[in-house]
């Protein structure tokens, strides 16, 4: 026998739910579930004979403010569940959701296809038990930070996809889970090709207008045509991985894997097995059948060793052998396996100095330094800052669901003057902070909070006069004048637009050193 589901339209009143419960309990009817909405109550009751059911319905109708009793097929939460299942099955993107404990709660058919893992092996298990422990979704669960189009490669299942993740919050703002959307990399490439007619390269995503960057990009495009080892040099945050990816995408190896690995982020004893793989029984906990290393996995493609200067001397020796012979030997193995991989390395360290101190092998240095590519720091290409700022403004305004603000001239000058020791990453952080702080259409100088400034909080009036309200108002007034002057080419029109006399407008222009554009035709009116 099936449960009985009823819909009770009603007039809301205090005690109605209690009366319904008493009516059912007095007849020993078990309430499986109850849902209460404005002017309607839903009941799911344990199975009962038809005669008892008719009696229960009659008793419910006798309760004051119960308008009707209507049998239904599904409870509202069951309808929502079925709708969610239909949506999850219909979308082409993979969806993986976890709760606050990291347990997988949602896993749609598309995710099964992309990850090559059946639903029964995933749902109800902790994410680390069925997928790699370093999945960015777990970071999102802990930090609340979203991520977009993160390239992920799962060697165990031969999965290659782009993942975007978002935290899930309860009404109180607490993180109660996270969800990841997966896009198979091959489908992404096919889609791009069908829309544009050609596959874009990462070179198109390197925004630049400066001469130094034009030279670096031109050299990188030339490098891409070959197959030699590349050593990318530059300060932290200059975009070394982006350049490496661009070189790969423009190379004959573009159809094969690009595998980046941060040598500084993985302990030495784990890095060796990650790079070269291991045989079954090589160490305690080694997987049955062993595991391929990243060099094997990237066979035919490109591998980037980021922060290569952090490799230990023993690992440097093993890497040198790969470069010399094109062969790898798994941990615990005796066989040498041939690999065809283009190697790129990146570092912000002074390798020449490290060689003199015995921290970096000289022979490895010369093997890596076949084609050096130096990336300029942001302070040496200030012309590129407005382009990058515009990109970050759009990105963070979209995330925060805000209109895209503009940057005032004073604020932009502040951004251009700053030396940016953290380079593009630091600029990105500063712009994100400004977009969060601004509550109008224009980012002003006090919204641009740069590391090292005395006060990294919102400006407030103090007895010391460290940040006066007058300064903020003056800055805002100057920005308003600059924008108005661009639209109104005479003092009279300017004064009318600002709600002041034309003489007052001229005085304020003189105060802030602002002049009308020289190409305007109404010169007499300005005098």
Do 355 and 431 sit in the same domain of this protein? no
Q: Specify the pLDDT at position 286.
A: 66
What is the per-residue pLDDT across 241-251, written as a single tens digit (0 to 9) for each? 999 999 998 99
Please give the residue that has the higher pLDDT: either 408 or 527.
408
Residue 211 forms part of a structural domain:
yes
What is the per-residue pLDDT across 200-240, written as a single tens digit (0 to 9) for each? 557 888 888 899 999 999 999 999 999 999 999 999 999 99
**What average pLDDT does the segment 433-453 reach?**
86
Residue 82 forms part of a structural domain:
no
Do 362 and 291 sit in the same domain of this protein? yes
Please give the residue that has the higher pLDDT: either 514 or 457.
514
Do 110 and 173 sit in the same domain of this protein? yes
Residue 115 forms part of a structural domain:
yes
**What average pLDDT does the segment 415-420 reach?**
93
- Could you say which of 327, 350, 376 is where a domain stops? 376
Return mean pLDDT, the chain: 85
Least confident of 174-183, 400-409, 516-525: 516-525
Degrees (nearest 5) of the Cα angle 425, 429, 433? Answer: 170
Say how many Å lie between the first and final Cα of the chain, rounded: 94
Do 217 and 346 sit in the same domain of this protein? yes
Q: Specify the pLDDT at position 197.
A: 53
Q: Specify the pLDDT at position 124.
A: 92
What is the per-residue pLDDT across 335-369, written as a single tens digit (0 to 9) for each? 888 899 999 999 999 999 999 999 999 999 999 99
Is residue 463 pLDDT above 60, yes or no?
no
Residue 257 forms part of a structural domain:
yes
Q: Could you give the CA distance from residue 527 to residue 524 in angstroms, rounded to a whole number? A: 6
CATH of the domain at 96: 3.30.450.20
Q: Specify the pLDDT at position 77.
A: 92
Do 278 and 251 sit in the same domain of this protein? yes
3 state SS of 167: strand
Degrees (nearest 5) of the Cα angle 90, 93, 97? Answer: 95
Residue given tokens 């993107």 in the structure block: 93
Do 186 and 296 sit in the same domain of this protein? no
Q: Specify the pLDDT at position 522.
A: 44
**What average pLDDT does the segment 64-92 reach?**
90
Q: Specify the pLDDT at position 433.
A: 93
CATH of the domain at 387: 1.10.8.60
Tell me how many domains the chain contains: 5
Residue 80 forms part of a structural domain:
no
Do 243 and 368 sit in the same domain of this protein? yes
Q: Which residues contact 44 (CB under 8 A, 6 or more apart)?
A: 3, 4, 5, 6, 31, 32, 33, 34, 75
CATH of the domain at 26: 3.30.70.260
Q: Could you give the CA distance from residue 426 to residue 447 in angstroms, rounded to a whole number? A: 15
Q: Specify the pLDDT at position 287.
A: 65
Residue 81 forms part of a structural domain:
no
Is residue 150 pLDDT above 60, yes or no?
yes
Burial 284-306 (b: 16+ CB within 10 A, else e): eebeeebbbbbbbbbbebbbbbb
Residue 272 forms part of a structural domain:
yes
Q: Specify the pLDDT at position 241.
A: 92
Do 312 and 220 sit in the same domain of this protein? yes
pTM of the predicted protein model: 0.55
Q: How far is CA 157 from CA 168, 303, 400, 496, in A?
A: 27, 19, 35, 69
Query: Which structure tokens are listed for 511?
Result: 């105060």
- Could you say which of 458, 490, 510 is where a domain stops? 458
CB 319 within 8 A of CB 329: no
- Could you say which of 335, 353, 376 is where a domain stops? 376
CATH of the domain at 220: 3.40.50.300
Do 161 and 115 sit in the same domain of this protein? yes
Residue 83 forms part of a structural domain:
no
Task: Report the run of H or E that residue 124 belongs to, with start and end.
Answer: none
Do 331 and 239 sit in the same domain of this protein? yes
Do 439 and 405 sit in the same domain of this protein? yes
Q: Specify the pLDDT at position 465.
A: 38
Q: How confident is the model at residue 60 (pLDDT cuts 50, 70, 90)?
A: very high
Highest mean pLDDT among 219-223, 324-328, 465-469, 508-512: 219-223
CB 499 within 8 A of CB 492: no
Do 251 and 355 sit in the same domain of this protein? yes
Domain range for 387 is 379-458
CATH of the domain at 519: 1.10.10
Beta bridge partners, 166, equal 179
Q: Say how many C-beta atoms besides its own lie within 10 A of residue 8's C-beta.
A: 23
Burial 60-94 (b: 16+ CB within 10 A, else e): beeeeebeebeeeeebeebeeeeeeeeebeeeebb
């Amino acid at each position: 026998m099936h449960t009985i589901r009823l819909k009770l339209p009603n007039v809301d009143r205090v005690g109605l739910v209690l009366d319904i419960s008493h009516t059912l309990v007095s007849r020993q009817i078990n309430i499986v579930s109850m849902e209460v909405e404005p002017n309607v109550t839903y009941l799911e009751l344990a199975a009962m004979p038809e005669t008892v059911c008719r009696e229960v319905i009659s008793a419910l109708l006798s309760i004051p403010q119960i308008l009707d009793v209507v049998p239904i097929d599904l409870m509202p939460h069951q309808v929502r569940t079925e709708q969610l299942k239909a949506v999850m099955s219909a979308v082409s993107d993979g969806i993986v959701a976890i709760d606050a404990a990291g347990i997988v709660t949602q896993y749609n058919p598309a995710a099964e296809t992309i990850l090559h893992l059946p639903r029964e092996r995933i749902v109800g298990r902790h994410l680390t038990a069925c997928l790699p422990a370093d999945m960015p979704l777990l970071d999102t669960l802990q930090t609340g930070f979203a991520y977009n189009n993160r390239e992920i490669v799962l060697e165990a299942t031969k999965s290659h996809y782009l993942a975007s993740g978002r935290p899930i919050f309860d009404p109180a703002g607490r993180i109660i889970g996270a969800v990841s959307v997966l896009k198979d990399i091959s489908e992404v490439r096919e889609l791009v090709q069908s829309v544009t007619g050609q596959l874009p390269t990462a070179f198109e995503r390197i925004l630049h207008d400066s001469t130094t960057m034009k030279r670096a990009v031109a050299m990188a495009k030339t490098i891409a045509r070959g197959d030699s080892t590349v050593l990318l040099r530059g300060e932290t945050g200059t975009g070394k991985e982006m350049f490496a990816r661009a070189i790969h995408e423009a190379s004959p190896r573009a159809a094969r894997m690009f595998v980046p690995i941060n040598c500084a982020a993985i302990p030495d004893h784990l890095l060796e097995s990650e790079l070269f793989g291991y045989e079954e029984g090589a160490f305690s906990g080694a997987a049955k059948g062993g595991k391929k290393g990243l060099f094997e996995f990237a066979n035919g493609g490109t591998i980037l060793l980021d922060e290569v200067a952090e490799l230990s001397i023993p690992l440097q020796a093993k890497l040198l052998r790969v470069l010399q012979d094109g062969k790898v030997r798994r941990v615990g193995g005796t066989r040498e396996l041939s690999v065809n991989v283009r190697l790129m390395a990146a570092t912000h360290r002074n390798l020449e100095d490290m060689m003199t101190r015995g921290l970096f092998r000289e022979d490895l240095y010369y093997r890596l330094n076949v084609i050096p590519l130096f990336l300029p720091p942001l302070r040496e290409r200030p012309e590129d800052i407005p382009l990058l700022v515009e990109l970050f403004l759009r990105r963070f305004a979209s995330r925060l669901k805000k209109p895209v603000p503009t940057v005032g001239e004073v604020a932009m000058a502040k951004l251009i003057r700053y030396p940016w020791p953290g380079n593009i990453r630091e600029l990105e952080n500063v712009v994100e902070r400004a977009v969060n702080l601004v509550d109008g259409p224009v980012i002003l100088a006090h919204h641009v909070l740069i590391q090292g400034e005395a006060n990294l909080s919102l400006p407030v009036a103090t007895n010391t006069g460290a940040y006066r309200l007058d300064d903020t108002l003056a800055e805002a007034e100057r920005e308003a004048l600059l924008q108005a002057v661009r639209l109104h080419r005479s003092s009279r029109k300017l004064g009318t637009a600002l709600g002041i006399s034309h003489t007052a407008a001229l005085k304020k222009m003189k105060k802030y050193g602002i002049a009308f554009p020289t190409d305007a035709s109404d010169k007499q009116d300005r005098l």
